[in-house]
Amino acid sequence: MWMLEIPPFLPFFIGALIAAITRGILRNVIMLAIPILSGLHLWMVPEGIHLQFAFLDYQLITYRADKLSLMFGYVFHIAAFIGIVYSLHVRDTMQQVAAMMYAGSGLGAVFAGDLLTLFVFWELLAFTSVFLIWARRTKRSYDAGMRYLIIQVLSGVILLIGTLFYASEKGTLEFDYIGLDGIAGWLIFIAIGIKCAFPVAHNWLTDAYPEATVTGTVFLSAFTTKVAVYTFARAYPGTELLIYIGAAMTCFPIFFAVIENDLRRVLAYSLINQVGFMVVGIGIGTALAINGAVSHAFNDVIFKGLLFMSMGAVLHMTGKMNGSELGGLYKTMPKTTILCIVGAASISAFPLFSGFVSKSMVMSAALETGHNWIWLMLLFASAGVFHHAGIKIPYFAFFAHDSGIRANDPPNNMLLAMFIAAVLCIAIGVYPSALYSLLPYDTGYNPYDATHVLAQTQLLFFSALAFVWLNLRGMYPPELKSTNLDFEWIYRRAFPNILQRVFSVIWKTDTAIRQAFLLKLNQTLTFLSRINKGTSNLLSHTYPAGSMVMWVAVILATYLILSFIH
Amino acid sequence: MLIHLPVLQVIIPLLAAPLCLFLTKPRLVWLFALIVSGLAFLISGLLLQQVMTSGTIIYDLGGWDAPWGIEYRIDRLNAFLLLIISSISTIVLIAADTSIRKEIPADHHVLFYILYLLSLAGMLGIVATGDAFNVFVFLEISSLSAYALIALGKDRRALWASYQYLIMGTIGATFILIGIGLMYQMTGTLNMEDLSKRLPEVSQTRTVFTAFAFLIVGICLKLAMFPLHLWLPNAYAYAPSIVTAFFAATATKVAIYLLIRFTITVFGLSFSFTHFPLQLLFVVLGLVGIFVASTVAIYQTNVKHLFAYSSIAQIGYMIVGFSMTTMAGMTATLLHLFNHALMKSALFLALGAVMYRIGTTKLTHFQGLGRQMPLTLAAIVIGGLSLIGVPLTVGFVSKWYLVMAAIENGWWPVAALILLGSLLAVVYVWRIVEMAYFKPALAGTETIKEAPLSFLIPIWTLILANIYFGIDTRLSVQVAQAASMSLFGVTP
């Protein structure tokens, strides 16, 4: 039908080009129009392969639409639109262009039907997004961006090696189920794993995202990890290993998130935690689980975006991002506070909010397939996420002790963007069947039955209780001994004291280990660069002709000796 | 006329060179040289077409039959090389008039074009001829003119770099001559085709071993294979920019051609690779070359030096592909010959444009240049991406074939090392990008303008070729495959 073969990344790349040469209102109008028009266009695109061409000896499919990729396509359009609205006030051309390119690369990746196209967009994702980090233009952000870039490019190179092996094993580049048999499968798995922030490989995320600009983080949170989730969902559904990795991902960030003071870094940890849920779902691999993973990705883009936007608004207005320096902002930023709470409720999976309708699918699937331990871990993780993202974020930013900061609500475009996201969060939570109709499988799942609602509410309640208690006992990390709430009735001496000591020891050792590690790393790096300089001086030194001739003689002698020995 | 094409290919630039002396006006000479080079390009195109459709062309010089007279033998491999050399020469020459006005004293301009044409004729001759001694003659023609061309450089160190190259080049050529002499002594013939038939009879003699060793070392010296590369960086860095662009894209390629021709056609695969561990030696030296040269490139402060070291690394890739001794590996090497010529000529021409505007190619002087010379720097970035091997550029195509060939051979570690080597390229290309785009411009350089059109046209022609052949690989891959097939004696 009408220009079916326009791949969704194209409008965004053209938009980036236009954004580079226009200014002011014209640019804003164009940038807003692109996700809307492209989104509408995508809505009318049927499933199927729409664009392909031959390259080398292979068939490259640059545009393949099916239920799975369309689902991600829709949410990326929504995220791009919200992000653009949120950043309308930004005058920095570099950021606007990078954001458009980045969104386009994300779309290119999810609609790529072959591994080579995927690889191209994989690397483009890295190269375009890094500018959103550098756009802060500080030494810190430059360094963080560089580390981010190196890891992302490395992931791409591993993907490429895997692709090469895959091509030589299978004789095709088509991107579909791959599975973990053979080197190719493992290499591609590792490449996606890095982008998916697997434990140990997750540091790029928590390192770089909080260093990005206010608006940059909103974009960053939407695309990179979700592209990784998409690729897992396509290439490795039902891979047992993913269940365990995913479960670990849901649990370990909680501890870091709890002790972290930078609120955007807390969100970065909770991003890993949420991606963990999706990875578990993909690992389980039943129709329900995949549905859960995909719909959770869909929701996560929106509510995590909302949370990053609300924290971005705080950073934008106050210039501060540490939990200990903020507080009491609800008086002057009431709208932001309410919107942030909507996001917090969604991520915590309150019934009637979007997180609830998707997360429960993954958990039900875990139970149905007999992964009871995994289910327990997920339960713990749900409690944890409520704890650090659901309560900690709004509490330390907007309530807690009054920091004395009297910042106003952010500009209207930021509020509008958050408002759109919040409306979506609630709408999906209240009317989930709209979301369900887009899912790859039809499972007839209903989240609003008594067990789910009750279990989740109980969980949330106890988690809230734990927070209150910890806070009260003055053990809550970033605000040690500084919060005073009026809940004297849980007072008990001995037990908390012991706990406090244990915790302080854990934190101390943790810091010590981390510092020692960093020191060693730095030493190694300096050592390596020194050696490197030494050798390269030696090697790039200009030699007199005589020594060159000596080399020739040596080589000739070697050749002769080798041929005569034979 | 058509049947004389093989000899016209060489004779036109050779005879045109002295004719330049009569034209005295540098502008006119430039135009003349451009036309001559263009003619050579045209002829090579016709030759390639003819070879691809109707097979090897044999041309007896002066009507003397092969073993006695000199024979020009154009098969797919030669035709491919001829096309690379003459096309690059022509495109590079477009910028010559502008470039040398800033880099070479006016009274040397005519001399420059004469030497350039002689050098071109020499390289075309080496490739076209089917006679081993003739190879040596043309090698000397191209080398002697190359020494003089390099010595024309503005920097006084050019003289010294040229002198070193002279010594090393002469040793290399002498070794090759010794090798050819020993072969002649054993077989009584100089014709390559004839040699390949007669050598097996005497292949187990020490004289032939020695001949082979001298030949290989001589050629490796010429192609700047690690660790015989020491002459190259300075020669490239201090030569006039046009010369660097021309030589970086062609001179080492001709040496690679000689290596392939002598090991595979003349001595034969079974002799070359079985009587001593040449394969192991080449793989190791190739890989070490990639890593050492790339690492050294990272620490260079002069961008010309940087790309010169990168050239040595790229030669490493070709050597690795060659050492696989499979058709896939040979295809990859030949592809990389073509692709690397496109990259490096574009990059060095762009450096020539920078040299033209700011008079130096020191890395520190690239600060903020991204805003002042956007088109030139964009070309360097795209060329750099191609060097790294980013998809949609030619660099990717050759890396792809090389890695595939390695995997096909079961050399997985080699495949991984090749890709890791590209990461080093990311680093040295990045250093330029960082300087040009992320640093503020130096004080007092506000007046720097974009390079003139006479630079931009050839640079962007090459850059677009980098992208075009990165997407539409039919021509390059087809010819490279056909050439490697004919080398291995497989009829398509």
Q: Is B312 helix (H, G, I), strand (E, B) or coil?
A: helix
A466 inside domain: no
Mean pLDDT over the full length of chain B: 90
Does A563 contact B471 at a Cβ distance shorter than 8 Å?
no
A487 inside domain: no
pLDDT at position A540 is 58
Q: Which of the pair, A281 or A478, is modelled with greater confidence? A: A281
B78 inside domain: no
DSSP code of residue A544:
P
Q: Token digits for B479?
A: 């010819």
Number of folded domains that form chain B:
1
Does B230 contact A551 at a Cβ distance shorter than 8 Å?
yes
Does B305 contact A540 at a Cβ distance shorter than 8 Å?
yes
DSSP code of residue A49:
E
pLDDT at position A483 is 34
CA triple A119-A120-A122, angle to 5 deg: 60
A477 inside domain: no
pLDDT at position A538 is 60
Each residue of A481-538: pLDDT tens digit? 333 332 323 333 455 566 667 777 777 777 778 778 778 877 777 777 776 666 556 6
Average pLDDT for A191-200: 90
Q: Is A53 helix (H, G, I), strand (E, B) or coil?
A: strand
| Residue A200 and residue A281 share a domain | no
CB A78 within 8 A of CB A424: yes
Residue B197 has pLDDT above 50, yes or no: yes
Does A536 contact B392 at a Cβ distance shorter than 8 Å?
no
The alpha carbon of residue A32 is apart from the nearest alpha carbon of chain B, in Å, by 28
Residue A76 has pLDDT above 90, yes or no: yes
A491 inside domain: no
A486 inside domain: no
Residue B315 has pLDDT above 50, yes or no: yes
ipTM over 0.85: no
| Residue A421 and residue A374 share a domain | yes
Residues of B in Cβ contact (< 8 Å) with A565: 276
pLDDT at position B402 is 92
**What share of chain B has pLDDT > 90, as a percent?**
51
Residue B1 has pLDDT above 70, yes or no: no
Mean pLDDT over the full length of chain A: 85
Does B419 contact A161 at a Cβ distance shorter than 8 Å?
yes
Domain of A268?
A: 237-459
Q: Is A307 helix (H, G, I), strand (E, B) or coil?
A: helix
CA–CA dist B58, B73 (Å, integer) = 5
Q: A9, A13, A55: best mutation site toward chain B, by most B Cβ within 10 Å? A: A55
| Residue A516 and residue A399 share a domain | no
DSSP code of residue B224:
T
Average pLDDT for B372-383: 92
CA triple A15-A17-A23, angle to 5 deg: 85
Residues of A in Cβ contact (< 8 Å) with B175: 552, 556
Average pLDDT for A107-133: 92
151-210 in chain A: CB under 8 A from chain B: 153-154, 157, 160-161, 164-165, 167-168, 183
Each residue of A338-356: pLDDT tens digit? 999 999 999 988 888 998 8
Q: Token digits for A263?
A: 């609120």
Q: B168, B204, B217: best mutation site toward chain A, by most A Cβ within 10 Å? A: B217
The alpha carbon of residue B461 is apart from the nearest alpha carbon of chain A, in Å, by 22
The alpha carbon of residue A532 is apart from the nearest alpha carbon of chain B, in Å, by 8
| Residue A249 and residue A177 share a domain | no
Residues of A in Cβ contact (< 8 Å) with B259: none
Binning pLDDT at 50, 70 and 90, where does residue A371 land?
A: confident
pLDDT at position A388 is 82
Residue A477 has pLDDT above 70, yes or no: no
Average pLDDT for A199-218: 88
Q: Which of B144-148, B193-197, B297-301 has the highest mean pLDDT?
A: B144-148
Each residue of B218-263: pLDDT tens digit? 999 998 888 888 889 989 999 999 999 999 999 999 999 999 999 9
411-450 in chain B: CB under 8 A from chain A: 412, 415-416, 419-420, 422-423, 426
Binning pLDDT at 50, 70 and 90, where does residue A273 land?
A: very high
pLDDT at position B289 is 93
Our measurement of the distance from residue A268's CA atom to the centroid of its chain's CA atoms, rounded to an integer in Å, reads 7
A373 part of contact set with chain B, CB < 8 Å: no
**Helices and strands: H and E segment counts in chain A:** 21, 2
A206 inside domain: yes
pLDDT at position A2 is 52
Find the closest chain A residue to B164 by CA distance: A545
Q: B291, B299, B331, B426: best mutation site toward chain A, by most A Cβ within 10 Å? A: B299
Residue A525, CA distances (Å) to A142, A531, B378, B421 in order: 18, 10, 32, 19
Each residue of B105-140: pLDDT tens digit? 888 899 999 999 999 999 999 999 989 999 999 999
pLDDT at position A496 is 53
| Residue A50 and residue A166 share a domain | yes
Interface A:B, Cβ pairs < 8 A: 107
| Residue A176 and residue A209 share a domain | yes
Does A566 contact B216 at a Cβ distance shorter than 8 Å?
no
**Of A308-317, A403-412, B97-106, the least confident:** A403-412
Does B217 contact A539 at a Cβ distance shorter than 8 Å?
no
B392 part of contact set with chain A, CB < 8 Å: yes
CA–CA dist B405, B391 (Å, integer) = 18
175-234 in chain B: CB under 8 A from chain A: 175, 206, 209-210, 212-214, 216-217, 220-221, 227-228, 230-231, 233-234
The alpha carbon of residue B160 is apart from the nearest alpha carbon of chain A, in Å, by 10
Q: What angle, 0 to 180 degrees and rounded to 10, lies between the N-to-C axes of helices B76-94 and B453-471? A: 150
Residues of A in Cβ contact (< 8 Å) with B275: 563, 566
Each residue of B430-462: pLDDT tens digit? 889 988 888 888 777 778 888 899 999 999 999
A478 inside domain: no
Cis peptide before B227 (omega within 30 of 0): yes
A61 part of contact set with chain B, CB < 8 Å: no
B102 inside domain: no
- β-bridge partners, A114: A174
Binning pLDDT at 50, 70 and 90, where does residue A139 land?
A: confident
Q: Which of B154, B175, B37, B160 is nearest to B104 (CA)?
A: B154
Each residue of B415-432: pLDDT tens digit? 888 888 888 898 899 889
CA–CA dist A168, A159 (Å, integer) = 14
Does A551 contact B227 at a Cβ distance shorter than 8 Å?
yes
B446 inside domain: yes
| Residue A136 and residue A33 share a domain | yes
Closest CB from A157, A167, A562 relative to B276: A562
Element (H, E) at A65: strand A58-65
Residue B427, CA distances (Å) to A130, A521, A528, B114, B420 in order: 16, 20, 15, 39, 11
**Residue A498: other Cβ atoms inside 10 A:** 10
Does A562 contact B471 at a Cβ distance shorter than 8 Å?
no
Find the closest chain A residue to B294 by CA distance: A536
B466 inside domain: yes
Q: Token digits for A95?
A: 């950021």
| Residue A378 and residue A259 share a domain | yes
**What share of chain B has pLDDT > 70, as a percent?**
99
pLDDT at position A475 is 64
Residue type, A464: A
Q: B203, B206, B230, B430: best mutation site toward chain A, by most A Cβ within 10 Å? A: B230
Backbone angles phi, psi at A63, to 5 degrees: -145, 100
B476 inside domain: yes
Backbone angles phi, psi at A32, to 5 degrees: -75, -35
Number of folded domains that form chain A:
3
A402 inside domain: yes
Residue B190 has pLDDT above 60, yes or no: yes
B273 inside domain: no
B301 part of contact set with chain A, CB < 8 Å: no
B127 inside domain: no
| Residue A159 and residue A287 share a domain | no
The alpha carbon of residue A145 is apart from the nearest alpha carbon of chain B, in Å, by 13
A127 part of contact set with chain B, CB < 8 Å: no
| Residue A48 and residue A187 share a domain | yes
- Confidence (pTM): 0.80
B235 part of contact set with chain A, CB < 8 Å: no
- Helical H segments across A5-114, by residue range: 9-21, 24-44, 67-86, 93-110
**Of A20-24, A505-509, B265-269, the least confident:** A505-509
CB B108 within 8 A of CB B151: no
The alpha carbon of residue A289 is apart from the nearest alpha carbon of chain B, in Å, by 35
Residue type, B246: F
B381 inside domain: yes
CA–CA dist A547, A538 (Å, integer) = 13
Domain of B299?
A: 282-492
| Residue A452 and residue A417 share a domain | yes
Q: Which residues contact residue A48 at a Cβ distance below 8 angstroms, ignoring those fewer than 6 apart?
A: A64, A65, A66
